[in-house]
Structure 1
Amino acid sequence: MVAAVRVHKVGGPEVLTFEEVDVPAPGPGQIRIRQAACGINFIDTYFRQGMYASPTGLPFVVGNEGAGTVTAVGPDVTDFAVGDRVAYVITLGGYAEERILPAARALKVPDGVDLAEAGGMMLKGMTVCYLLRRTFKVEKGHTILIHAAAGGVGQIVCQWAKHLGATVIGTVGSKDKGEIATSLGCDHVVYYRDEDFVARVKEITGGALCDVVYDGVGKTTFPASLDCIRPLGMFVSFGSASGPVEAFNINLLQAKGSLFATRPTLNHYAATRPDYEGLANELFEVVRSGAVRIPVQTSYALKDARQAHVDLESRATTGSSILVP
């Protein structure tokens, strides 16, 4: 038996239950890992709330990201061996001391990347990779807007987009968060609680607006974000921290400048093994180069998962947070 955090009924942070669960020997196509770190992400709260349904029903172990060391392999697994350092993402069951993992979703962690760092960066880092390199390919000369620039995804976007040569505009909620965003490459910080972010974007760009807006906030920043985008630019909605974007008339995109709008997910960009490995390898490469740093900002004991969710949903955290089994 190992310690884990399970959901028996959907709801608020109080439904997270710290208990013992049985972890069997790995079967065909599976590996068992002892986890060094379990990543904490907003998607975990969506599963906890029932916004996303667990594919295995109730109860389920929450968590979609982690890293650790292989302790056993299934009878037909040849790509991994006991002792390998691995990480994974978009595989429910992460908040646990040990877990069974499909070998097809395991990724070898290269030398130079710490397991604690890997455990908290795969979901956010691979998300940023597809956002900047697949959904809209950011290049030198582009101007981008990233909402919640001091958040987990936002911090990585600031660094990676700046590395690519873009001008980065970021919205934040406080001076402290503004300093964080600026230190990570954000060229212009907008304090959304005190300023009209649309007016500030127009002022910053001299009316030229942005090539792309990346929005993980959702309800409270839409449709105003559309007014920050140049004609033929793109609106990328990748999260719903303030609630989902409500249904809207698609003709609004025409009225705002023949805009493109998309709601991508990592599941689709990493659906095949080559795509999954490709995103991970790009992430590992940019981290190992030093161009992007993803340090763990906050660590919690596994038993404190409830508090971790409270802090995350109240915007009390910045950057990467992990649970340590």
Structure 2
Amino acid sequence: MTDHTRIALASRPQGAPTLENFRLETAALRDPGPGEVLVRVLWLSLDPYMRGRMDDVKSYAGKVELGDTMEGGGVGEVVASNSKHYAPGDIVVGRTGWASHAVLSETEMRKVDPELAPISTALGVLGMPGHTAWVGLNDILAAQEGETIVVSAATGAVGSLVGQLAKRKNMKVIGVAGGAEKCAYAVEHLGYEACIDHRSPDLAAELKALTPGGVDCYYENVGGATLEAVLPLMNDFSRIAICGMIAWYSGKGLEDAMRLPKMWRSILVKRMRVQGFIIFDHNDRFAPFAREVGPLVKSGEIHYRESVADGLENAPAAFLELLGGGNFGKQLVKVADKS
């Protein structure tokens, strides 16, 4: 048995989460069984979807039970192995949870190549968020050269890669992000033609002025006012990929949101295709994603940015900041240094 530190779900949030919903504790961790390894976590990923796992509701994945370790992906170092495929010292990525150590099955993880890029990128641009960006753009939106795309949360872990890949397709790429600094980064480093602050009181008018030919593709990460501004601009036979809706995750803004009949009519009369997707339904597309994007990251042709909180104990505060848009790029927690 190994003692490990973890962040447990102490209580379910009522509306926006608070620090009181989490508990830092030390607990015993079982030894790895056949085909399993013990991993010392080095990096932890924080992602908006984790907010939904805190609620006692049915969803596409199981909820976190009260007292259980918070759900999440991590990159770590194998310290003990009962698998012929993994040896001590290997760097792996898998569902470690918010913890200092985890026992993982050999079928639940994959090796990370430290020579390709910093290992933290296995949780960001070369991991689940990057895979999500690639699948949403190519498979869900079927984005084409010459089309106009709007990307919400344009500088986030997903949106930042969507924008760059869309630019490489010679699309007209318009972003929406939180604040002047993020918008400037989107234009200067990510290749967006323009980027609008989602807090702008003239969001709808600014977006309309930038898309005189309408919008063919919308990569949806936030919902809220951004969706309401984009929807009237969508062209006939346009497409929306629903990746997230962070503006509504804690129940805020629901009373003021666009009514369903109005939204439904727009979808009908414009013959739009609106598709939600969850990335684990597209695991078969990870290999082609990695083949395309990996070399681009290694060469520096794809830019990425990380926000890093230091120490597992600071994961809850970093998560709350993420939900409020306080991160810049991929939100990570540095749990430990490599041995």
Q: Structure 2-normalised TM-score?
A: 0.84
Tell me what 1:46 maps to: 52
Tell me what 2:276 maps to: 263
Tell me what 2:86 maps to: 80
CA apart distance, 1:128: 0.7
Query: Are the equivalent residues in 2 in contact too, given 1:2–1:20 (CA < 8 A)?
Result: yes
Q: Quick one: which of 54, 67, 72 aligns to 2:75? A: 67
For residues 104-124 of structure 1, the C-alpha deviation after alignment (integer angstroms, 9 at most, x for no partner) is 231221222212332344232
Query: Are the equivalent residues in 2 in contact too, given 1:7–1:59 (CA < 8 A)?
Result: yes
2:274 maps to amino acid: A
Cα distance in structure 1, aligned partners of 2:48 and 2:100: 21
CA apart distance, 1:243: 0.6
Whether 2:11 is the aligned partner of 1:9: answer yes
Tell me what 1:253 maps to: 267
The verdict on how the C-alpha distance between 1:280 and 1:172 changes in structure 2, with shifts beyond 3 A counting, is same
CA apart distance, 1:276: 4.3
Tell me what 2:123 maps to: 119
Tell me what 2:320 maps to: 310
Tell me what 1:173 maps to: 178
The verdict on how the C-alpha distance between 1:152 and 1:119 changes in structure 2, with shifts beyond 3 A counting, is closer
2:305 maps to amino acid: P
CA apart distance, 1:168: 1.0
Cα distance in structure 2, aligned partners of 1:168 and 1:205: 10
Query: Are the equivalent residues in 2 in contact too, given 1:13–1:309 (CA < 8 A)?
Result: no
The verdict on how the C-alpha distance between 1:241 and 1:56 changes in structure 2, with shifts beyond 3 A counting, is closer
The verdict on how the C-alpha distance between 1:13 and 1:287 changes in structure 2, with shifts beyond 3 A counting, is farther
Q: Quick one: which of 104, 110, 113 aligns to 2:107? A: 104
CA apart distance, 1:50: 4.3
SS in 1 for 2:29: coil
Whether 2:231 is the aligned partner of 1:219: answer no
CA apart distance, 1:264: 0.8
SS in 2 for 1:31: strand
Query: Are the equivalent residues in 1 in contact too, given 2:9–2:64 (CA < 8 A)?
Result: no
CA apart distance, 1:49: 4.2
SS in 2 for 1:59: coil
Following TM superposition, the consecutive aligned residue runs of length 4 or more in structure 1 with deviations greater than 6 angstroms are: none
1:4 maps to amino acid: R
Whether 2:57 is the aligned partner of 1:57: answer no
Query: Are the equivalent residues in 1 in contact too, given 2:306–2:328 (CA < 8 A)?
Result: no
Structure 2 residue runs of 5 or longer lacking an equivalent are: none
CA apart distance, 1:87: 1.7
The verdict on how the C-alpha distance between 1:164 and 1:78 changes in structure 2, with shifts beyond 3 A counting, is farther
Query: Are the equivalent residues in 2 in contact too, given 1:238–1:265 (CA < 8 A)?
Result: yes
The verdict on how the C-alpha distance between 1:303 and 1:103 changes in structure 2, with shifts beyond 3 A counting, is same
Cα distance in structure 1, aligned partners of 2:64 and 2:320: 25
1:191 maps to amino acid: D
Whether 2:214 is the aligned partner of 1:209: answer yes
Cα distance in structure 2, aligned partners of 1:41 and 1:175: 23
The verdict on how the C-alpha distance between 1:276 and 1:172 changes in structure 2, with shifts beyond 3 A counting, is closer
1:100 maps to amino acid: V
Tell me what 1:234 maps to: 239
Whether 2:333 is the aligned partner of 1:323: answer yes
Question: How many residues matched?
Answer: 315
Cα distance in structure 1, aligned partners of 2:326 and 2:93: 26
1:114 maps to amino acid: P
For residues 126-165 of structure 1, the C-alpha deviation after alignment (integer angstroms, 9 at most, x for no partner) is 2112112221233432221001212232222222222332
CA apart distance, 1:56: 6.4
Cα distance in structure 2, aligned partners of 1:291 and 1:63: 32
For residues 178-224 of structure 1, the C-alpha deviation after alignment (integer angstroms, 9 at most, x for no partner) is 11211221111123322544433332232x21221011112333344
Cα distance in structure 2, aligned partners of 1:289 and 1:50: 44
Cα distance in structure 2, aligned partners of 1:252 and 1:139: 22
Whether 2:138 is the aligned partner of 1:133: answer yes
Q: Structure 1-normalised TM-score?
A: 0.87
Query: Are the equivalent residues in 1 in contact too, given 2:7–2:25 (CA < 8 A)?
Result: yes
SS in 2 for 1:28: coil
Structure 1 residue runs of 5 or longer lacking an equivalent are: none
Q: Quick one: which of 193, 203, 206 aligns to 2:199? A: 193
Cα distance in structure 1, aligned partners of 2:290 and 2:11: 33
SS in 2 for 1:129: helix
Deviates more, 1:179-188 or 1:245-254: 245-254
